[in-house]
Amino acid sequence: MAKLDLVMFEEEFSQLQAIIGKLQIECSAKVVFLVDKNGQQIAASGDVKSIDATSLASLTAGNVAATDGLAKLIGEKEFSLLFHEGEKDNLHISIVGKRGILVVLFDMNSSLALVRLRVKKASRELQEIFERVEERAQLHANESARFESPFSEITDDDIDKLFGD
């Protein structure tokens, strides 16, 4: 595989969850999602059940990827911030570190200025945790003897069962 897999352990996951939970409250957002650039949801906070989070993660990543492409076309490194204004709800999308996307869904109970302010602080905190996630994944990749890999004992039967009725 070309790049290191994204491996999330309980400690860092709880910290990420705490930060986006705090962000959701502090900016009075309906929902806050943390998504990875490949389209997978990492964490969420708020009225999550009201949204198809899997589709949102995939579409957000596609949106960011397409915008990245546009940025490079015009000589920019990236557009780190995207804002979509709706009639009732708005989406604030920002890049966190190398591989994270922070998505804030808010309505008239909040404001763009407040969201931008709170997101700036939360992004710094999230970035530190992403860096720790990568360091820890690298460390465990080198300590394979003590690492509980879910794939270590996978068999053909296990794979066949995935496609069973």
- The three-state secondary structure class of 43 is strand
Q: Return the residue of 54, 109, 111, 138 that touches another protein, per CB under 8 A.
A: 54
- Return the range that interacts with another protein (CB under 8 A); candidates 86-94, 108-116, 121-129, 143-151: 143-151
Interface mask toward another protein for 12-51; x: CB under 8 A: -xx---------------------xxxxx-x---------
Q: Of 25, 47, 50, 59, which one interacts with another protein (CB under 8 A)?
A: 59
Residues 6+ apart with CB under 8 A from 52: none
Does 55 interact with another protein (rule: CB under 8 A)? yes
CA gap 51, 59 in Å, rounded: 13
* Residue of 16, 49, 43, 47 lying closest to 31 (CA atoms): 47
Q: Residue 112 is which amino acid?
A: L
Q: Are residues 132 and 46 in contact, defined by beta-carbon separation less than 8 angstroms?
A: no
Q: Which residues bind another protein (CB under 8 A)?
A: 1-10, 13-14, 36-40, 42, 52, 54-55, 58-59, 62, 65-66, 68-69, 149-154, 156, 158-164
